[in-house]
Structure 1
Amino acid sequence: MLARHYPPGPDKANPHVYLFGTCVIDLFMPEAGLDAVRLLEREGLTVHFPRGQSCCGQPAYSSGNPEQARAVARAQLDLFSQPWPVIVPSGSCAGMMRHHWPTLFDDDPQAAAKARELAERVYELSEFLLHVLHVNFAQTSSQPDEQVVLHTSCGARREMGTRGHGVALLDALPGVTRVEHAHESECCGFGGTFSLKHDDISGAMVTDKIAAACATGCERLVSADCGCLLNIGHAAKRQGAPLQVEHLASFLWRRVGAAA
């Protein structure tokens, strides 16, 4: 993963961004998408949500179906036509768009050029909040103190480097203590279609993840990836584990929104 050079800040003369909401947020966690919008608007930005957007194509791509992934990406290349940042509240989806969309069109120079230009404008939400907006969460929160554990998806950690972004944002929140757990660097077992093809292995992995999180004494796990949250949250509920899950955008907004 190459180091990324960030702009000095948002364009104050043209304070617009796009939100790529992801299909999982759209279908299962819409509040996380709305909280991402609220966080961006808190910083004075106007957020645009192109209605034609859908999936990033990662399920098809990781299952060995690049033609299907290419069709999904191609249908969306022209949706983000203005030169505005594209904010994605999911590290794995952001990684797909930033690193893999351009390679899908190696045999189509025109589409490849569009994909490369778009990829340069793609930011994972926590990355954008930290390195472009330089958000300030130092104000006193009316929320009670709480301890949380952080989970970063494999794609977010390795392709977008967003674990450090999540750590920095959580550590900047008044009244919040982030506790590291023994299996933090390990996959939760979701892995998109991996959890369907290898459900026994996936189940063992998420069981280990939940046990490690609960061993810290924390009752809340925060992550910026909804696929992981669905997997961990449903498994914890099924096991009767005392662990709640929350998207990073919703957690941040809950802590700072009332003070905005």
Structure 2
Amino acid sequence: MKIALFATCVNDTLFPGTGKAVVRILERLGHEVVFPEAQTCCGQMHLNTGYPEQALPLVRSFTDTFEEYDAIVAPSGSCAAMVRDWHGKTAARQGDHRLAERAFALTPRVHELAELLVDVLGVTDVGAVFPHRVTYHPTCHGLRMLKLGDKPLQLLREVRGIDLVDLPDATECCGFGGTFALKNADVSAAMCADKTAAVKQTRAEVLCAVDNSCLMHIGGTLSRQRSGVRVMHLAEILASDR
């Protein structure tokens, strides 16, 4: 299968290794991965901050860029949710009904990585090896909007050598929430303190999630606490072969 990679702004700018990991996984499974260079932001930041007019050109750009592909993978639950849940609605609410029609037709082909592997490709064992103690945090967009359920855990359970442990109060938000962390810094910090306390209870070496934005938030607190816990995107663990 020919699959288009939507790297997302955060990954492309701050965590390029995540996109590279996605490519390694899919090529290991025998698929061709392409990176459309015209891709830009999905518009989530604009829409969430109250600027739907500014988000509309980004909806159009995404649709123009990815419309030709049968499958698009985004290693970000929040960006995949933005495209799937809001692109068509945003275009419709801004009065561009032709773009809305195109976006609604495209968005079912957009998948978060775990969805693509488990639901579309029918794979849970991707040939990964990762001999470390790991706990998994289900991020809010993946859990509540994409409804990933245990798909990431299905993939992690098949990783050779892994010691996968449950995270207490796993479904509690980490407190990032994009601009929420800026506008409500004290509340955000308190929520993250609860999350890091739960992580440390597991005695895990690595905290895994499907969103680098959340991992950046939790990882910053873990680092300041000198916890010794690393954070890694699901793709990086699944791409590991030793």
- Which bracket does the TM-score occupy, shorter chain normalised? over 0.9
Q: Partners of 1:140 and 1:112 in 2: how far apart?
A: 39
Q: What TM-score, normalized by structure 2, do the two folds share?
A: 0.94
Name 2:87's counterpart in structure 1. 101
Q: Single out whichever of 217-226 and 167-176 deviates more from structure 2.
A: 167-176
Q: Partners of 2:125 and 2:64 in 1: how far apart?
A: 35
Name 2:170's counterpart in structure 1. 184
Counterpart amino acid of 2:82? M
Name 1:195's counterpart in structure 2. 181
Following TM superposition, by how much is the alpha carbon of 1:126 offset from its aligned partner in structure 2, in angstroms? 0.8
Q: Partners of 1:231 and 1:96 in 2: how far apart?
A: 20
- Asked if 1:129 is matched to 2:117, the reply is yes
Residues 60, 99 of structure 2: 8 Å contact kept: yes
Q: Single out whichever of 126-135 and 97-106 deviates more from structure 2.
A: 126-135
Q: Partners of 1:78 and 1:173 in 2: how far apart?
A: 37
The answer for unaligned runs of 5 or more in structure 1 is: 1-14
Hey, which bits of structure 1, 4+ residues long, moved more than 6 A? none
Q: Partners of 2:227 and 2:31 in 1: how far apart?
A: 39
Residues 25, 239 of structure 2: 8 Å contact kept: yes
Q: What TM-score, normalized by structure 1, do the two folds share?
A: 0.88
The structure with the largest helix share of the pair is 2
Alignment of 1:230-245 (within 5 A): 230-245=216-231
Following TM superposition, by how much is the alpha carbon of 1:177 offset from its aligned partner in structure 2, in angstroms? 2.7
Q: Single out whichever of 131-140 and 161-170 deviates more from structure 2.
A: 131-140
- Asked if 1:169 is matched to 2:155, the reply is yes
The answer for unaligned runs of 5 or more in structure 2 is: none
Q: Partners of 1:217 and 1:87 in 2: how far apart?
A: 32
Change (3 A) 1:124 1:139: closer
Name 2:52's counterpart in structure 1. 66
Residues 43, 133 of structure 1: 8 Å contact kept: no
Name 2:195's counterpart in structure 1. 209
- Asked if 1:115 is matched to 2:103, the reply is yes
- Asked if 1:150 is matched to 2:129, the reply is no
Q: Partners of 1:243 and 1:195 in 2: how far apart?
A: 22
- Asked if 1:51 is matched to 2:34, the reply is no
- Three-state SS of the structure 2 residue aligned to 1:79 is helix
Change (3 A) 1:140 1:26: closer
Q: Partners of 2:126 and 2:100 in 1: how far apart?
A: 42
Following TM superposition, by how much is the alpha carbon of 1:138 offset from its aligned partner in structure 2, in angstroms? 7.6
Q: Partners of 1:43 and 1:168 in 2: how far apart?
A: 17
Q: Partners of 2:182 and 2:136 in 1: how far apart?
A: 24
Counterpart amino acid of 1:121? R
How many residues are aligned here?
240
